[in-house]
Copies of this chain bind each other. A is one copy, B any other.
Amino acid sequence: MPYLDKLHRAQQANHSWVCLGLDPQPDRLPVAALKWDEPLLPFNRAIIDATADLVCAYKPNLGFYLQWGAAGVMALERTIAYIPDHIPVILDAKIGDIGHTQAAWGRGLFDVWNVDAVTVNPYVGEEAVRPLLAGRPDKAVYVLARTSNPGAQRFQGDLTAGDGLAAEVLRAAAEWAGPGDGHCGFVVGATYPAELAAARALAPAANFLIPGVGAQGGDLAAAVAHGPDAIAGPVINAGRSVLYASAGLDFAEATRAAALQMRDAINELRAH
């Protein structure tokens, strides 16, 4: 099934545009998870069990697992396998290598781990995207366009001006997926509402992965207004404010409540 169709089905089934970032942090893991010698997998399982009917995707970030070395990557591999098949998995690693190296990443992430989408850094140009999408109609990449951090503008420019690097990326990358290839979406931070509108105009058919709401203070209304493409809604990432809603014994229930609140806030905005 093409990626956008799978995403759309998950969004319909759970009536949700919420994507939950599965990013374990040693200083934020709840005490109830730290009782296990290797807390990552049991923590993730509890979170997934508590939210699988509320989200449209899960987004684990490789860096948060690799901080424990290969053991953390093993927990990530098993976490991905645990996620229900009908919920898309977006592997966030912002990979941006060239040619045969990027092809190796693609074999690992798409063919061995069978994730549905990966995030890609476009600095090196088209060689970062083509080896991942070629011949994989069921997969997708999310190319970084405008990131949500304060220092992003230095190189990425202002999307509303239309002539910076981020605008160039949005124009160029749409050409890099041919017929029979996977889908090329983009990462556009919610911290810059006017730029979300500009990004949608530059890439009308692309799915958007939107980080920066919640702890980073992004604009949920702009994400709802400019996020949807013709097939699916945007993937709005819920980060720390949802994953670490409680550090107590009720951590999974608290994450469920926070995810539900975010889902309903989005759906309320969609209804208007």
Contact with B along A49-65 (1 / 0, CB 8 A): 00000000000010110
A55-95 with Cβ < 8 A to chain B: 61, 63-64, 66-70, 72-74, 76-77, 94-95
Contact across chains for B154 and A126 when beta carbons are under 8 A apart: yes
A77 CA to B148 CA, complexed, in Å? 32
Residues of B within 8 A of A101 (CB): 23, 61, 63-64
Are A155 and B149 touching (Cβ within 8 A)? no
Contacts of A67 in B (CB 8 A): 104-105, 107-108, 112
Chain B residues whose C-beta falls within 8 Å of the C-beta of A113 in the assembled complex:
69
Which of B25, B99, B152 is A149 in contact with, Cβ under 8 Å? B99
What 0/1 readout, one digit per residue, does chain A (167-178) give for beta carbons within 8 Å of chain B? Answer: 011001000000
Q: Is A123 an interface residue (CB 8 A)?
A: yes
Q: CB-CB contacts of A124-140 with B at 8 A, as 1s and 0s?
A: 11110000000000000
Q: Does A7 contact B (CB under 8 A)?
A: no
A74 close to B74 (CB less than 8 A): yes
Contact between A69 and B77 (Cβ–Cβ < 8 Å)? yes
Copies of this protein in the complex: 2
Say whether chain A's binding surface is mostly helix, strand, loop, or mixed.
helix
Number of interface residues, chain A, beta carbon within 8 A: 53
Q: Closest CB-CB distance, A192 to chain B, in whole Å?
A: 14
- Asked if A260 lies at the interface with its beta carbon under 8 angstroms from chain B, I say no
Q: Is residue A255 contacting chain B, with contact meaning CB distance below 8 A?
A: no
Q: Give the contacting residue for A152; candidates B76, B124, B150; CB below 8 A.
A: B124
Q: List 6 A-B contacts (CB under 8 A).
A: A63-B95, A63-B102, A94-B96, A98-B148, A123-B123, A123-B165
Among all A-B residue pairs, the 10 with the closest Cβ atoms: A125-B151, A66-B108, A67-B108, A98-B149, A63-B105, A70-B77, A67-B104, A70-B74, A67-B107, A73-B73
